[in-house]
Every structure is written in structure tokens, then in C-alpha cells.
Amino acid sequence: MFEYLICVISPVTGDYEPGKPECGFLFPAFFDGGAALNCVDVFQADSEHPHQELLQMLFSEKS
């Protein structure tokens, strides 16, 4: 069993219908047929203009 957390961020269109995904992540990352527990896969629909706020939330150091 592969347990994971997937998050997709997309605009809402119409009556609460999700639009095309803009960014998201998968934890743990999937690597070589299994879970990479120390990694996160990140999706950015526009790699030229990534959502920096998502990257900051996922990878910022807590003090």
C-alpha cells in the first residue's frame, strides 16, 4: 500500500468547479517504484513563472 498526500491548487470556475491546475505537490515523492520519504514532487503548470509561495511553504526552514 502506497500512502500519500496529494495537493492541487486551481482556480474555481462556475459553481465550485475546479479549473485547470496551476500548481501542486505529492508527498512522499514516487521514485523507483516506491516512496521517497524525504522528498516532495512539485508540479508547476507554468515553469517560466512558478508559484514561489508554494515553494516557500514547502521548503522553508522553521526556526
**Which pTM does this prediction carry?**
0.76
pLDDT digits (tens, 9 = 90+) for 9-52: 999 988 889 999 999 999 999 888 888 888 999 999 998 998 88
* pLDDT beyond 80 at 62: no
Local structure of 49: helix, strand or coil: coil
User: Residue 26: its pLDDT value, please?
Assistant: 93
Q: Are 20 and 33 in contact (CB under 8 A)?
A: no
Peptide bond into 18 cis (omega under 30): no
Q: Are 42 and 23 in contact (CB under 8 A)?
A: yes
